[in-house]
Structure formats: C-alpha cells, structure tokens
C-alpha cells in the first residue's frame, strides 16, 4: 500500500507541474497587469515596479524563479495586498473555509447516502419519487440561486439566522453557508447511491446471498454496501476538494473571509501570485484527495490490490 501511494505521488508530479505551468502562462497572457490603474502611472514608476517584482524578465525566467520558490514553500508576495505574502493570506482564510467545507461535507454524507439507500430500497414507491424529485431540483438549481433564497427565508423574513459575516465559533453564522454548499452535493450523492445500489442488487452474488436465505438487512450491510459506495467515493474526491476550498459564490455572497474571497480579489486585481497560490493550493488538494479515493477502492472492493 505504501509503495503504491508513493508511486501515485510520483506520477502526480508531472500533472501538478502542467497545471502550474498552464495557470502561469494564462495569467501572463491575460490583458492588463497587476499595476494597471485607472490613472496611468509614470513610465519610470511603472518600470521600477516591474523590476522590483521581476516582471521585466522573460516569461520563462519568471517561471523558473516561481518554481524555485514553490520548492521552498514560498508562493511569493501579494502584488496588490501590501505587506502580505500569499502563504499568509491563505493561512488567514483557510480556517474559515475548512470549517464551512468540512461541515458541508459531513452533512452531505450524513444525508445524501441514506436518502439514496432509501430511494433504492423503495424503488418506484413514494419515497423513491420524493427523494429523486428533490435531488433533481438540487442538481438543477445553482448555489447562486439557493444562497439568496435561504438568506431571504431564514435571515430577512424569519430573522432566525444572520445573512452574512463571520464570527469564530458561531454556529448561527455557519448554517446558511453550510446548507448552500451541502445541498447540491446531497442531491448528487442521493442519485449516485440510488443508481449504484440498484445495479449492485441485480448482481449474481446478491442473488446467491438471497438464495442462502440471508435477511435483507444482512445482505445490504455485508455484501451490497461496499460495492455501492465505489462510484460515490469517486465523486467525493473532486466534490470534497470543492467543498474544502470553499465556493467562490458562497463566500462572496455571505461575506466570508475564506480563501475563495482572495481568489476572486486576485483575479479582479490581476494579482498574479495570489491567483497562482490559490491554483497551487487547489491542485494539491485535488491530487491528494484523488489518491485517497484510489486507496479507498482497496478497502471497498477486496478484489483490488495495490501492489
């Protein structure tokens, strides 16, 4: 298992470098620059700023310098947020984003998978139709529609919850962002679980277990549940990364001081290093979570061996 994990990590390095290179070149190819203002700077000041941040050098030289800093864990200074490095900005926003993302992930798993199991076990019944109707709505309605609806209903009309801002340790400030993030994932998990369980229940080994007289609950727990979760785990890799890094729309709408806010600010201000730092962070998380998904396959399906 350890050797397999190390091989996968080594194989992920070229993918990681391609992502970094593509993001770096796209940022440099985009029109404008980090020091472009509504009022044009004097040429000598603009030249000094370009030289101070190494932007006057060829692109390939800038890229090599960036990779060198990346190997040391240095993502560089923010071009627009003075006196802050990119690592410091990510560190400031990460606790908020992780709090919201982990809570949304736990809620999605606790609700989505059981709903999918119930729908499959009650196929074509009222429970199945109800779950799938709600799941279809959850998939179809984007979170930039869900967020204002929840804010209007529970924040303005009922006055139960705050509609924005953040207070460390305050559960009331977490409820609406967590619900907004979790609802689409709950819908996807319910649909995936239902479809996967229905397929597994038609498998020969399930028919054999039934022929032996095993109870339905025993068949589900001992034989059907693990293979049912295989496609669910595949979906959870990128889904968990999206939740843990925060939704840009959700953090912007609810005024959360998470990492997503810095990504938006960096893109708007053409803050090259800040955007690159967010890309590096997100790519690293995606690759690590995909590795965990592959390792989880060996536990879910004994036929898979990581030699």
Over residues 38-65, the pLDDT tens digits come to 456 566 666 666 666 666 677 778 788 8
- Alpha-carbon distance of 160 to 294, in angstroms, equals 42
Does residue 37 register a pLDDT over 70?
Answer: no
Question: What percentage of the chain exceeds 70 in pLDDT?
Answer: 84
- Alpha-carbon distance of 119 to 305, in angstroms, equals 32
Q: pLDDT-based confidence at 162, cuts 50/70/90?
A: confident
- Alpha-carbon distance of 214 to 153, in angstroms, equals 48
Q: Residue 54: what pLDDT?
A: 65
Helix ranges restricted to H, 30-85: 43-52, 59-71
302 closest CA partner among 230, 234, 236: 230
Mean pLDDT of 237-253: 73
User: 126 vs 43, which has greater pLDDT?
Assistant: 126
Question: Quick one: tokens of 185?
Answer: 């994932």
Does residue 169 register a pLDDT over 60?
Answer: yes
Residues 238 and 256: beta-carbon distance below 8 Å: no
- Structure confidence by residue, pLDDT tens digits, 72-113: 887 877 776 777 788 888 888 888 888 888 888 889 889 888
Average model confidence (pLDDT) for the chain? Answer: 78
- Structure confidence by residue, pLDDT tens digits, 210-234: 787 777 777 777 777 777 877 787 7
User: 130 vs 203, which has greater pLDDT?
Assistant: 130
Least confident piece of the model among 110-124, 150-164, 180-194, 252-266:
252-266
Q: pLDDT-based confidence at 2, cuts 50/70/90?
A: low
Mean pLDDT of 294-303: 64
Mean pLDDT of 175-186: 87
CATH superfamily of 96-259: MetI-like (1.10.3720.10)
For 41, which DSSP code?
A: P
Does residue 239 register a pLDDT over 80?
Answer: no
- Alpha-carbon distance of 60 to 227, in angstroms, equals 48
Q: Residue 175: what pLDDT?
A: 86
Q: Residue 126: what pLDDT?
A: 84
C-alpha separations of 100 from 65, 94, 174, 296 in Å = 35, 10, 7, 24
Residues 277 and 66: beta-carbon distance below 8 Å: no
Q: Residue 306: what pLDDT?
A: 53
- Alpha-carbon distance of 240 to 286, in angstroms, equals 9
Question: What percentage of the chain exceeds 90 in pLDDT?
Answer: 0
Q: Residue 246: what pLDDT?
A: 59
Does residue 127 register a pLDDT over 60?
Answer: yes
Q: Residue 40: what pLDDT?
A: 60
User: 237 vs 283, which has greater pLDDT?
Assistant: 283
Q: Residue 165: what pLDDT?
A: 75
Domain boundaries, the chain: 96-259
Q: Which residues does residue 77 pair with via DSSP β-bridges, in sequence order?
A: 85
140 closest CA partner among 194, 188, 94: 188
Q: Residue 9: what pLDDT?
A: 75
The torsion angles phi and psi of 230, rounded to 5 degrees, stand at -60, -55
Helix ranges restricted to H, the chain: 2-29, 43-52, 59-71, 86-121, 126-140, 143-150, 172-201, 204-211, 216-219, 225-244, 248-253, 259-269, 272-300
Does residue 307 register a pLDDT over 60?
Answer: no
Question: Quick one: tokens of 260?
Answer: 């997503």
Q: pLDDT-based confidence at 134, cuts 50/70/90?
A: confident
Q: Residue 245: what pLDDT?
A: 64
Q: Residue 297: what pLDDT?
A: 65
């Amino acid at each position: 298992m350890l050797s397999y994990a190390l091989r996968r990590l080594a194989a992920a390095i070229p993918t990681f470098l391609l992502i970094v290179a593509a993001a770096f070149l796209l940022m440099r190819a985009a029109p404008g620059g980090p020091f472009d203002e509504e009022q044009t700077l004097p040429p000598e000041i603009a030249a000094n700023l370009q030289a101070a941040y190494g932007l006057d050098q060829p692109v390939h030289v800038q890229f090599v310098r960036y990779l060198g800093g990346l190997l040391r864990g240095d993502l560089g200074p923010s071009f627009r947020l003075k006196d802050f490095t990119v690592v410091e900005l990510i560190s400031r926003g990460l606790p908020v984003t992780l709090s919201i993302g982990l809570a949304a992930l736990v809620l999605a798993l606790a609700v989505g998978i059981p709903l999918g199991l119930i729908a499959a076990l009650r196929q074509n019944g009222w429970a199945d139709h109800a779950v799938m109707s709600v799941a279809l709505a959850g998939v179809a309605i984007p979170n930039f529609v869900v967020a204002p609806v929840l804010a209007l209903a529970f924040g303005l009309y009922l006055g139960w919850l705050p509609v924005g801002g953040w207070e460390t340790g305050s559960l009331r400030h977490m409820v609406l962002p967590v619900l907004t993030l979790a609802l689409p994932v709950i819908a996807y998990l319910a649909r995936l679980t239902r479809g996967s369980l229905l397929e597994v229940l038609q498998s020969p080994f399930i028919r054999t277990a039934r022929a032996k007289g095993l109870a339905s609950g025993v068949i589900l727990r001992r034989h059907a549940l693990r293979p049912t979760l295989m496609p669910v785990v595949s979906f959870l890799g990128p889904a968990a990364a999206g939740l843990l890094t925060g939704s840009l729309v959700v953090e912007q709408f609810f005024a959360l001081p998470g990492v997503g806010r810095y990504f938006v600010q960096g893109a708007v201000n053409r803050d090259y290093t800040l955007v690159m730092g967010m890309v590096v962070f997100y790519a690293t998380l995606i690759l690590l979570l995909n590795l965990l998904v592959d390792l989880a396959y060996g536990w879910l399906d004994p036929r898979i061996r990581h030699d």
